[in-house]
Amino acid sequence: MPTSYWRPGDPIGRRRFVTTGPLDLESGEKLADSEIAYETWGEFTGDNAVLVEHALTGDSHVTGAAQSGHPTPGWWDGLIGAGRPLDTRRWFVVATNVLGGCQGSTGPSSVAPDGTPFGSRFPRLTVRDQVAAEIALADQLGIGRWRAVLGGSMGGMRAVEWGVTEPDRVERLVLVACGAAATAEQIALCSTQIHAIESDTAWRGGDYYADPGSAHAGAEGPVVGMGIARRIAHISYRSELELAARFGRGAQRDEDPLDGGRYAVESYLDHHAAKLGRRFDPGSYVTLTRAMNSHDVGRGRGGVAAALARVSAATSVVSISSDRLYLPTQQEELADGIAGAALHRIESPYGHDGFLIETEAVGAVVAQAMEER
């Protein structure tokens, strides 16, 4: 099965690009002249910009249909557009593809200065490095202050990091299904997914990319390992209640689990593994997952409480009742640590993925946050 990632020469769709200039990374390495892909909706009037941050396997295509250059429809489609919570008649909405991603921004599959893919030479990133790249993007777009920064899951990590790193440049925060720092269990789950990819014989130390322009470019890679990683992740994204109600112990149609067939829930995981393999790069999966493990707003700042005390944005924190990956206690920590923050609990059977599925409920919080002053 081929991997799928955006490459120069592919249809650009609605993407635009900025070059960040050299980035000094937390690891001590330097990443020269990275590109950040982004999309915008609405008209910039100088003080109406909103930044929407995507999760692990998302991209800049937050809203709109699947189209040339964008293989999947918008992942938060109900939130952005005329008459929606982020009304594009009023707000200038910006969404990036995160640094290290594979849908236009510089990542492991990108071409290095020597003309070959970075592969194993791509440096390790942290969430702070990714926000540094977004700060450079904001500077180039002439955005001195965001009216709001919002995101869920990994996107929420970047959003809260924005609030801590640049408190004077963020007026509002909406933090959905995320925490102030990765927990031991989250690191364990993420590290197991990384091991699944790196154990695939097609990983080749991260140097599995064909030469740019080759007929085989993007046609190889550790998609079996990434499929296992996706299965592990997807179990943590949903709730036991939903899986039990939706699948129970039922067999997949025309299959017998007692004779080598699959249970229905196995077929469901197989489907999502194959789906991701058609649109995502394993190298980016490893890079971004490691960045998630790095997440800790308190590192080098005197701890989480001291870091959260730096946030001056009007903050709304959203938890999903059945989230077993980012437990509601983590959102409580955010709300307790950020002065004046409001905590909203969404009752949902969908687990962590509720932040994507419960669009109406999330949208109501966003709409309220955007009206508060």
Annotation says 216 is catalytic = no
| Cα-based torsion angle of the residue sequence 33, 38, 43, 44 in order, rounded to the nearest 10 degrees | -40
Q: Which one is catalytic: 34, 109, 110, 153?
A: 153
Q: Which one is catalytic: 109, 344, 352, 353?
A: 352
> Rounded distance, CA 366 to CA 316, Å?
8
Instruction: Using DSSP bridges, classify how beta strands 23-24 and 30-31 pair: parallel, antiparallel or unpaired.
Output: antiparallel
Q: Which one is catalytic: 234, 323, 344, 353?
A: 323
Question: Quick count: other Cβ atoms within 10 Å of Cβ 223?
Answer: 25
* Nearest of 140, 136, 135, 173 to residue 155 by alpha carbon: 173
The DSSP-derived string for 221-261 is: S-HHHHHHHHHHHHHHHS-HHHHHHHTTTPBPTT--GGGT-
Contact assessment for residue 158 and residue 180, using Cβ atoms and an 8 Å cutoff:
no
DSSP strand E in 42-188: where? 49-53, 92-96, 148-152, 172-176
Output b/e per residue, 10-29; b: 16+ Cβ within 10 A.
eeebbbeebebeebebbeee
| Cα-based torsion angle of the residue sequence 40, 42, 46, 48 in order, rounded to the nearest 10 degrees | -100
SS3 6: coil
Two structure tokens written together for 70: 């964008």
* Nearest of 149, 57, 39 to residue 96 by alpha carbon: 39
> Rounded distance, CA 346 to CA 344, Å?
7
Annotation says 323 is catalytic = yes
What's the burial of 184, exposed, middle or buried (CB within 10 Å: 0-12/13-18/19+)?
exposed
- The residues carrying an active-site annotation are 153, 323, 352
